[in-house]
Amino acid sequence: MSDRLAVLPQYLLPKTLLTQWAGRFASAKLGDATHAVIRRFVARYGVDMSEAADPRIESYASFNDFFTRALREGARPLADADYVCPVDGAISQFGAIERDQIFQAKGHAYSTRALLAGDAALAAEFENGQFATIYLSPKDYHRIHMPCAGRLQRMVYVPGDLFSVNPTTARGVPGLFARNERVVCVFDTARGPFVLVLVGATIVGSMATVWHGVVNPPRPGEIKRWDYADKPVELAKGAEMGRFLLGSTVVLLWPKGTLKFNPDWAPGGAVRMGQAMGKALG
């Protein structure tokens, strides 16, 4: 079956309704019923609870509490690298931005301007730059961390579709990451700007940042912007910056000549938060 045919049902499903339902269920505190769902999830996806700060399933009052669980001390040591991987997951794609085009999958690319909600001036900063797209599967740790130290400049909520973001959908839905709901976070660093985009997906109940809390819901159906240029939101390399309540994807952008990726990286490869992602150029 072709990837486009495989994703056809997603065009027909009531994705927003399913996502709203999933969000309500994930936040509900249902006692033994919640714990039974968590146990089944752990068994189904092979979640390694020994890495959790609290490995006891019965200690989680809601599915969201479990899904955004903290890791035990030392579970993700930071590599001695200029840039570290911000999440656990699998590398979808990474490499050079061709003028303004980001490679999604064979036969598909999308523009930085589309990803960044039509902000042409911001997109221009990343022309011929570099990008990395990392997919978080259900079994992964779902907190997002800083690849390097940075100061937040602004945040943009962009409404959009709620397609799945798994590899099959990335191959089958054109412009997936620039058409799904997303939260765009723009940082300034000692080596220039970088952008970290949290991409929503079907049944991703919400996305949150450490400085704002839950960004969605609500889903207002329009772009919302927050300016932090004059507010001291500074985060160290490896610090938590946000989290997904149910899994998704992150897209990172850097200007031309900023970094050289880890030579061990390859599309489809598994990565863990804190591993070496790249070294600075210049």
Give the catalytic positions in this structure.
88, 145, 248
Q: Please tell me the number of Cα atoms within 13 Å of 126 on its side-chain side.
A: 29
The residues, any chain, with a CB within 8 Å of residue 224's CB and separated by 6 or more, are 156, 157
Contact between 169 and 13 under an 8 Å Cβ cutoff? The reply is no
Other C-beta atoms lying within 10 Å of the C-beta of residue 153: 18
Where would I find the beta strands (DSSP E) of 55-137? 83-84, 89-96, 101-105, 108-111, 130-135
In angstroms, rounded to a whole number, what is the distance separating the alpha carbons of residues 93 and 70? 27
3 state SS of 202: coil
Task: Let me know: does 215 contact 226? Beta carbons within 8 Å.
Answer: no
Q: Is 245 helix (H, G, I), strand (E, B) or coil?
A: strand
Contact in structure between 183 and 198 (CB atoms under 8 Å): yes
Beta strands in 106-171 (DSSP E): 108-111, 130-135, 143-145, 150-158
